[in-house]
Amino acid sequence: MGYLGNTPTTQSFTSGTDYFNGTGSQTAFTLTRSVNSVNDIQVTVNNVVQQPNDAYTVSGTTLTMTSAPSSGTNNVYVRYLSTTTQTMAPSSGVALSAAIGTASSPSYSFAGDSNTGIFSPAADTIAFAEGGTEVARIDSSGNVGIGTSSPTNKLSLGTTTNGGISLNVASRPHFGATYASDSLVLGYSVKPNPSTVDGMVGTETNSGGGAPAAILMNSGVIQFHTASSITSGAAFSSERMRIDSSGNLLIGKTTYSTSVNGLHYAPNDNGTNIGLLSITGNSTNSGATAYQLYSTSNSTFRFYVNYAGTIFAQSTTITGISDQRLKENIVDLPDGLNAVMALKPRKFDWKEGKGKDIKGDRGFIAQEFETVFPDMIEEWKDPAPEGEEPYKAVNANLIPTLVKAIQELNEKVEAQAAEIAALKGANNAS
């Protein structure tokens, strides 16, 4: 008789059977041989073969029944089964080979399932078939493709035109761009800008014409891209937001600068450990709104600020903390009527593009105001022309001074009233 490999080794097995008497309560029985698993024995109770694991388990020489067999003489018996397998090792130099095969008729298949197995669709390539269709392959470059017959990466899932995952990207895979190695790509047919990134996660509704979105990782920066639609393979540069390498959040802009339009939040502004939220716009209309608070329940704007710097609010009250427990060195305000009388309210036009950018405005001139209240002058953040002092701003917190002026006026009125009353009384007496 012919055989493959070395001469088969002759092995022996001694059959045997153990008998036990059921008691109606006993569940553990001691075997005469130690066995490795429930597959090494066959247990029969009252001439009914029992199901391994369900009806019994075994450990060494101990047989444990799930439920106690009924009373009887030798009504429980255990047959020992041979589980010996033959191992054949081909001699040195002996090669196993088979036909190339196809997906519908693979070289190596399974009994009763001839169109499922392994075949070789090309030189140095191994493929796997299920139901007559190729489902995976390892090509001559060592790339593994699942759901694709043309893997371009060490692992490619899906197809090269519609959805999937790519790991360790080394060339133009699915997003229509070139990526560095050790990248993760989800989705296809999207070419972001820049075209070279360290990694990407992206999606698209279909192959071209969909609504793609992507998250790019590049040199310590996380970028968020979206587009309403795109043609397959075409580039889109619609970056919407990013987190830069310093942890700054930028929306509608790519540079952390107040001179660039958009919104940015800096948790550590210029290393000061002070958080900063900034909105920058390029509106030629000073009346355009830059920030607003809208109530949907009342269908009304509660608060908004325009590009002229004017604040509009339904409530003109600003509440500030003023608790005595937080203050010290409390004295009467020295400024009053005389200080108010020294102020010079003005009407003026703003230069084009400056300040409120309006004509006929009312207010104070900072340099004039400073002669009366030097402690109420602040520096403005806009840079002044080179060589000039910073722009000045007025902190017109005049309410306490105005109250003091009114009190002084009232004292004068009361004194004059008393004087008038005295004169009337003297006149009447005469």
Domain-wise residue ranges, the chain: 17-80, 102-140, 141-243, 284-323, 334-430
C-alpha of 171 from chain center:
26
**By C-alpha distance, which of 213, 226, 211, 176 is closest to 197?**
176
Adjacent-strand bridge partners of 79:
17, 42
Q: How far apart are the first and last CA of the chain?
A: 161
Q: Classify burial at 96, counting beta carbons within 10 Å of its beta carbon; exposed 0-12, middle 13-18, buried 19 or more.
A: exposed
Phi and psi, residue 211, nearest 5°: -115, 90
Cβ 128 vs Cβ 138: under 8 Å: no
User: Tokens 């001839």 label which residue?
Assistant: 114
Q: Is 426 helix (H, G, I), strand (E, B) or coil?
A: helix
Count of beta carbons in the 10 Å neighbourhood of residue 197: 23
**Residue 172 has what pLDDT?**
38
**Residue 365 has what pLDDT?**
94
Structure tokens at 337: 């009527």
For 240, the enclosing helix (H) or strand (E) is strand 239-243
DSSP H stretches of helix in 249-384: 337-342, 366-370
CA-based R_g, the chain, Å:
45
**Residue 108 has what pLDDT?**
87
Give the C-alpha separation, 159 to 150, whole Å.
8
**By C-alpha distance, which of 178, 194, 238 is closest to 212?**
238
Give the C-alpha separation, 76 to 46, whole Å.
7
Structure tokens at 141: 């470059």
- Amino acid identity of 228? S
Adjacent-strand bridge partners of 35:
60
**List of the chain residues with pLDDT < 50:** 1-6, 85-87, 160-164, 167-184, 187-191, 205-209
Q: The pTM is what?
A: 0.49
For the CA atoms of 269, 288, 385, 393, what is the dihedral angle to 10 degrees? -80
